[in-house]
Amino acid sequence: MKKKILLMLSACVIVLSMTSCTIPNMSTSQTNGETESQVADSTPESTGSEQKSSQDSSKKTEKKTYAIGETWTVDGQWSVTVNSVTETSDRNQFSEKTPNAVYVVDYTYTNIGYESEYMDGLYISLDDGIVDSAGVMGYSYPGDIVNYPQAAPVGATCNAQACIGVDNPGSFKINFSQYDGNNEKHSAVFDVAVQ
């Protein structure tokens, strides 16, 4: 009986995840190795609005790199800034993880216009997608932070912190991806230089 229930739940999760995926619209020009923007640029009768539309769609999937203090903005959706990174010598005696370095990342995000039927606001957590100085994945660490991320409604700003652990001290990257209110994925990398 338990196996049947688990099998049914697994099947439901797979079906739901498949229905939420979007398949990009492939035009015949894309299948021949050209992108829509290349075709639009080479076609004399294409209008400026068509060119702008194809350029805007390519910007949404473009991954950008930011440093501490720089702001990543997705038009009409959100902005994210990593304000500071501080190394701490505090260790959690109850954690099974033994990082060589622990960092507290202070960041700010603003909900410019993000709305979703699944969430009550914009919620951004930066403690996943950490890659340390040797290319090894970092992790969330149960450290002493004061400001936790919260769901921010449109027009609100949240100042939050994340505590992360790494095996190799030094500079690291935060690889961040988020789907906007139109279910389009946006990605950015915060390159954190630690001295």
More confident residue, 96 or 63: 96
| SS3 call for 11 | helix
Task: Evaluate whether residue 29 is within a structural domain.
Answer: no
Task: Evaluate whether residue 53 is within a structural domain.
Answer: no
Tally of domains within the chain: 1
Task: Evaluate whether residue 18 is within a structural domain.
Answer: no
pLDDT (0 to 100) of residue 24: 41
Task: Evaluate whether residue 169 is within a structural domain.
Answer: yes
**Nearest-CA neighbor of 148 among 117, 127, 170, 173?**
127
Phi-psi domain of 172 (left: phi exceeds 0; alpha: psi -120 through 50; beta: other): beta
Q: Looking at the DSSP assignment, which residues form a beta bridge with residue 101? A: 166
Q: What is the CATH number of the domain that holds 85?
A: 2.60.40.1240
Q: Domain containing 95: what range?
A: 59-192
0.85 exceeded by the pTM?
no
pLDDT digits over 133-183, tens only?
999 999 999 998 999 999 999 999 999 999 999 999 999 999 999 999 889
Would you give the DSSP letter of residue 137?
B
Q: Is there a contact between 11 and 5 (Cβ–Cβ < 8 Å)? A: no
The CB-side HSE value for 153 (13 A sphere, CA atoms) comes to: 0
Q: Is there a contact between 38 and 28 (Cβ–Cβ < 8 Å)? A: no
Task: For the chain, give the mean pLDDT.
Answer: 78
**Nearest-CA neighbor of 191 among 62, 9, 66, 15?**
66
